[in-house]
């Protein structure tokens, strides 16, 4: 893409990978920075998923279910089956199974934002804020919350806190502290520091891998959609690239179809790991 006609490929990618923030980062790690776009879309999709579940519960009937009710019943049955196989405490499942269902739908909707055209919502946002046209590169808006590391870590840390809550609920404060210092190597006082260190490493590793797995897949998917979009931009500026628009459409369609599987699988994996980690909080050593 010629620089005089628009941004270069690298500028285009950097623009679309820049968050709408309260202020620019002042270092590699800056906890004062807030990614406003990730928070906005996460909260909006959380409200939509809650409304989706509320409508399903309100419209449920004992008669022949409609398509909407049947789809929700399939999801509920799927999550409940997984929860029963992992969490054997029936009382806990009354809370954990609906939590798993909410997590699955919420993460799926956040992932599905990646299926929207790359420039659609940022362009609309540019029009709303008056930044369209020559100054449209000043309108920053990333619409896939799960392609933001802070969102994914926020989700995984939330699961960690739920695990802590169930550890205390099931084992009691004293029982859980006893387990932290005596598992996995034994109850000898010499082993207490080693046991505690191993427990902390396990909690940290599970939390980091839980969030990074979702982030890595969704960030890569977002980046690939941008690269495919650049094929069309390159075709527009190339007289000889007659077949490039065709390749652009074919590549975009293939990746979009494949990405439908990715966003669903990643939502399912995140939900399953949440159930597994909460289930582990019920186990005693």
Catalytic center residues: 209, 213, 217
CA–CA gap between residue 182 and residue 190 (Å, rounded):
10
Roughly what angle, to the nearest 10 degrees, separates helices 244-280 and 149-182?
A: 20
Name residues whose C-beta falls within 8 Å of residue 183's C-beta, 6 or more positions apart in sequence. 195, 199, 285
DSSP string spanning 28-47? S--TT--BHHHHHHHHHHHH
**Cα dihedral 177→155→211→170 (10° resolution):** 30
Supply the angle between the helices 36-59 and 67-86 in degrees, to the nearest 10.
Answer: 110
Q: Is the dihedral of CA 184, 190, 194, 199 positive or negative?
A: positive
User: C-alpha angle 30/35/41, rounded to 5°?
Assistant: 155
């Amino acid at each position: 893409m010629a620089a005089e006609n628009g941004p270069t490929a690298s500028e285009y990618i950097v623009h679309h990978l820049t968050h709408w923030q309260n202020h620019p980062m002042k270092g590699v790690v800056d906890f004062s920075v807030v990614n406003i776009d990730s928070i906005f879309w996460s909260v909006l999709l959380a409200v939509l998923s809650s409304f989706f579940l509320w409508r399903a519960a309100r419209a449920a009937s004992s008669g022949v279910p409609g398509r909407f009710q049947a789809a929700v019943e399939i999801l509920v049955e799927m999550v409940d089956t997984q929860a029963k196989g992992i969490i054997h405490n029936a009382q806990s499942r009354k809370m954990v199974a609906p939590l798993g269902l909410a997590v699955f739908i919420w993460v799926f909707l956040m992932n599905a934002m990646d299926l929207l055209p790359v420039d659609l919502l940022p362009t609309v946002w540019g029009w709303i804020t008056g930044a369209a046209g020559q100054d449209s590169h000043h309108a920053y808006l990333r619409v896939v919350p799960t392609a933001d590391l802070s969102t994914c870590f926020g989700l995984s840390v939330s699961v960690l806190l739920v695990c802590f809550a169930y550890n205390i609920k099931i084992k009691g404060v004293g029982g859980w502290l006893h387990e932290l210092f005596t598992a996995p190597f034994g109850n000898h006082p010499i082993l207490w520091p080693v046991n505690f260190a191993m427990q902390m490493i396990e909690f940290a590793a599970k939390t980091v891998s839980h969030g990074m797995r979702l982030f890595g897949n969704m960030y890569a998917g977002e980046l690939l959609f941008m690269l495919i979009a650049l094929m069309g931009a390159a075709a527009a500026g190339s007289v000889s690239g007659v077949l490039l628009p065709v390749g652009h459409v074919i590549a975009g369609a293939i990746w979009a179809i494949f990405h439908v599987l990715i966003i669903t699988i990643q939502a399912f994996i995140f939900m399953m790991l949440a159930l597994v980690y909460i289930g582990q909080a019920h186990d005693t050593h």
